Every structure is written in C-alpha cells, then in structure tokens.
Amino acid sequence: MGEKQRKLLVLYASQTGNALDAAERIGREAERRGLPASVVSTDEFDTSSLPHHEEAVVFVVSTTGQGDSPDSFKAFWRFLLQRNLGNYWLQQVRYAVFGLGDSGYQKYNFVAKKLDKRLSDLGATTIIEKGLGDDQHPSGYEGTLDPWMLSLWRTLYQINPKYFPKGPDVKIPQNEVIDKPKYRILFHKQETLEPKLLSDSDIIQRARGMSPGKLFKDKSKPDCFLKMTRNEVLTKAESTKDVRHFEFQFVSSTIEYEVGDVVELLPSQNSSVVDAFIERCGLDPESFITVGPRETENSSFSEEMITQIPIKLKTFVELTMDVTSASPRRYFFEIMSFYATAEHEKERLQYFASPEGRDDLYNYNQKERRSILEVLEDFPSVQIPFDWLVQLVPPLKPRAFSISSSPLAHPAAVHLTVSIVSWITPYKRTRKGLCSSWLASLAPEQEVNIPVWFHKGSLPAPSQSLPLILVGPGTGCAPFRGFIAERAVQAQSSPVAPVMFFFGCRNKDTDFLYRDFWESHAREGGMLSEGKGGGFYTAFSRDQPKKVYVQHKIREMSKRVWDLLCDGAAVYVAGSSTKMPCDVMSAFEDIVSEETGGGSKEVASRWLKALEKTGRYNVEAWS
C-alpha cells in the first residue's frame, strides 16, 4: 500500500492581519504545488495535539510594539512554557518559523525568535532556518517571504518527495481561478424585509460581526461613542507638523479608564469615494445583504447567514472595507488578473503578482499607498465579483491613540494629542492619514458620534507613591500629560512621589506642545519642580547647529536620574518607534554603567532588563 498523501499545517498569530495574509499565502502556494494545507490561528488550535502532527508545521507569527506577541498567541505560548513538557515532547515534529516584524524596533521579530528556540528545546526538528520578514525592507515582509518559501518547498521535497509528487516547482496553470472566495453574499429582496429600528451601535456590531476581518470579531460592538468638544492646533503655522489637541465627551454611556490607557477610534470614510467604489464595482448601494463563510462547495447558505439581520450594502462597505486609504495586498492583483478582459491589463497584473514583479508592484502599490479604488480605476476592464472584494479589500481598522487626559483631572472627558499625518509619495502625490485627517476636519458643532473601544496599552497606571522618570518627545508626551495632571490632583490631598520629565521637539517656538502646562508644573512647588524632587528638561533638536535629543538631556542629568532610580523610580518612554527607544535605553545603560563604578554595558543592560521584568521600564512606541 502506498504512503498516504502528506499535508502541511500552517499556524499563525496575527494582530493586524499581516501574519494571517502571509500564512494564507504559504497555504495557497503549497496547494498549487499539490500539497494540501490547513491554515489555523493559534487561538483556535488544540496545542496539546501538537506532538501528534507528524506532518510539517509552519508557524507564522508577528511581533507587535516592544516585543509583544499578538493576543491570539498568548494562551498557545503559555502552554508551550509548561515545565512538564520535557525535551522530547515534540520529537516527531518538523517545523519552520516565519516572523513578521520591524527592524526599527528594539525587539525585532522577538516572538518568532523565542518561538523558534522553544520548539527546538522541546525536541522539534527545524526544516529550514527561521525567516524574518522586515517592514523596513524595500518590498516589505514579502522581500524575505518569497525566497524563504522557495527554500521551504525544496527542503521538504528533499526530506520526502511525497510532499510534492510532481516536484517542488510545479505549479497548477494560472489561466483560471483555482481558489474560491471564502465568503458568500446573500442578497435580500427589499419587500421581504421588515423595517427595524436599530441603534448606531447595533448597526456597527452587525456589519463588523459579519465582516471577514475576523481580527475584530470579539469587539465588533463599540464600548461607547464620543462626541468632539474641542479641536485645537498645538503647533505654530511655521512648524513642519500639524499636531492637534482634541477633547471629547461621552455620549449616553461613560466608560471608566485609567491614565496610560489607549482608545481606538473607528474613522469615517469619505462618502463620495465610497460611492465611487460601489459604482466602479457595478453594485447597488441600496441593496440589503448578509455575509457569511462559504462552508463547502455544495452547502447552501449557512443557518447563521439566514438568521442574520441584513444590512445595506453601502453601510457594510463604509463600516468594514477600507476602500479609501489602505493598499491592496499582492493576492488582490492575482485575482484581478483572472477577471481582466483586456490582454495588456491581464499581462501587467500577472507580472505584478509574480515573484519577478514584486519590486515593481511595491513601487506602484505600497510606496504610493494606492487605494483599492485607485487600483481598480487603473485597470478598467477588471470586474471582480463582490464576494471576492469582501474577502480581499483590507478591513477598515480602528486607529489607536494614547489618552492624554486623566479621569481625575478631566472627569467625563477624553483628550487626545494627534499628529495629522500627511506625506508626499515618490510620484509627488499628497497622501493623508485616514483617521487623523478626518478628526482634523471635524468641528464640535457637527456633533458627530465616534465609535470607540478602550483598552490597556503598554503604560500601566502608576501608584502615586511611585517616583517616575518620563521620556516623551513629540506626541509621546500625550500619556504623560494625563500622568502629571492626575498626580497634581492627588497631591492636593496626600503625599505623592516626585516626577522627572524629558520632553523633546524640533523647535521651541513652533513645536513645543502644551508648553504652558509643563512650565506651570515646573514652577516652584509644582509637580515637575526640582524642589519637589522632580524636574522638567527639554531638548529642541533644531534650535542649534548640533542636534540635541532627549537622550542627551538624560545623560546630562545622570546623577539625578540615578538617584531617582535608586529610590525605586519607574521609567516610562513613549513616542516614535524608529530610533528613539533604543537611543534612550542606551542613555540609561551609560548612566547605570557609570554610576555603578564603570561596569560593562552588558551588566548595565542586565540591570535594566531586571527593571523591565518588574514593570519598572515601560515603552509605548508607534511608527
């Protein structure tokens, strides 16, 4: 009897959707070579069954923030860390790890690296060296994924040719769509629908609950709605940046939050662009639909789809599909090629979807940040069915912001400090951030209800007895405005520990965010005054010939910083993820090394790692 058909298991952990996209691509490429593949999220997989997977297992994991793992990975990882598993628990398993990260962050691809080591420690055998995808690569993570996959297929074939009976490089011809969309759309006759009075919250929950963007299934219903009460420009007209201070009040229900928390806002898309997308796709905006998974080839519509309350197509697009700002992924161009009726368009799309066309696609698509609508307009012969669009258009994601208020100092209000994103592409096109530019366009008198979700960020709320060293250049100062406002209120009725704050920006006259607030607290007897054991230190990088940054100011104050650390202070760092967190960490390493009698950088690094482990060194960085 011949050996049974081999299979591939692809396990992924994704926070924003990139790891899911990469995992699905690995699964598709395997099946095109004749190797059946299952693609499963780590939070939907029975981890205890891992030793029984004698087939190849590929792990695709992303690293978020400062080395954090995606939420869907946490329970899986805890299971793997159990001490009773032993060194031979996975001795039957062959595995490969592909990580997605950003080398601009200090803990680049940390989750993939620790997973690779742990699987090896548990006795699993690696198929090929782990692949580390990098957002900073000219072609993004795909620049690493393409060659890594080719190596994976060839190595599997060497291990056992049964994986690919026709060889690792044989592909099914691409002249017809070999995949089916994963979702079905059920169109409803309007006359059969009963009119239902639904709240905004219910409509959002219904639309996002149906959407394939399964990453937000758990939080499809907003925690509450906020209404803007203030929109103030903080930077001066001569500044190169437009930074705003926004204030909001709760609509109907109030959510309790703490300083250091994060709020996510669901932005509104430009209605005329949404209309243009619907028209370009030949859809009826007024039609009513339900969306559900395509179970099997022969199955009729699932019971869940039939019992769902239908939603208007335009509403579904507006609330779940990012047609105005996000760029499509490579697979979108591949599917487009099947539906192109003009030969020159088909050829160009096939080239874009091929490994050879990857760099040109990156320059055309991601670098220019072309929207779905713009891409469709560039290929007028393409008419993609709506079920494919529902699957392939990037999901509309809430945008996260550090809260810059304190519930003690600003009751029933939420404040945000937002840099309005705008840039020029290589082809000299102006691009704007969807959420920030939308917020900037709002006026309080419009009374727009904004759906929001609250959650914990990377900055835990400190107790008032904990001394603080805060580092927040640019909009990184946002959470610390809340910290200091809160501690100032606490100081009115009980003793509080001292606070040192290092702030930085380009120019004192144009970019000094919340200047009056910080300076008032730095005056005698204020929360940031040296007399109270704290201090306020500024770095204006462009106000002198030699650039000065927050890390230089931290080194200048090394004695005071060290004394506060010895008093049990916690360090909080917030701001841009590019170089700042590494440079600040390096400044603290220099201080620890110097103050402990000229110890090595390694010793200082271990000292700071111990601070991190005890929750006394916290970083929240964003790109």
The helix (run of H) or strand (run of E) holding residue 224 is strand 224-233
Residue 589 φ then ψ, to 5°: -60, -45
Nearest 5°: the CA angle 241, 320, 223 is 80
The helix (run of H) or strand (run of E) holding residue 38 is strand 37-41
* Under 8 Å between Cβ of 473 and 576: yes
With the CA atoms of 552, 609, 623 and 135 taken in that order, what torsion angle do they form, in degrees rounded to the nearest 10?
120
Q: How far is CA 572 from CA 459, 575, 588, 621, in A?
A: 7, 10, 12, 11
The binding site for NADP(+) comprises 475, 541-542, 547-551, 583
| Separation between Cα atoms, residue 24 and residue 394, nearest integer Å | 14
**Beta pairing partners, 58:** 10, 96
| Separation between Cα atoms, residue 354 and residue 146, nearest integer Å | 10
In 211-325, where does DSSP find H-type helix? 271-280, 303-307, 313-320
| Separation between Cα atoms, residue 547 and residue 541, nearest integer Å | 5
* Sequence-separated (6 or more) residues with CB below 8 Å from residue 82: none
| Separation between Cα atoms, residue 168 and residue 422, nearest integer Å | 45
* Under 8 Å between Cβ of 584 and 552: no
The binding site comprises 14-19, 62-65, 135, 369, 399-402, 433-436, 475, 541-542, 547-551, 583, 622
The binding site for FMN comprises 14-19, 62-65, 135
| Separation between Cα atoms, residue 562 and residue 231, nearest integer Å | 39
- The single-letter DSSP state of residue 315 is H
What is the CB neighbour count within 10 angstroms for residue 351?
A: 15
What is the CB neighbour count within 10 angstroms for residue 42?
A: 24
Residue 218 φ then ψ, to 5°: -70, -25
* Sequence-separated (6 or more) residues with CB below 8 Å from residue 466: 497, 568, 569, 570
| Separation between Cα atoms, residue 396 and residue 211, nearest integer Å | 10
| Separation between Cα atoms, residue 117 and residue 446, nearest integer Å | 54
* Under 8 Å between Cβ of 479 and 402: yes
The binding site for FAD comprises 369, 399-402, 433-436, 622
* Sequence-separated (6 or more) residues with CB below 8 Å from residue 597: none
* Under 8 Å between Cβ of 407 and 257: yes
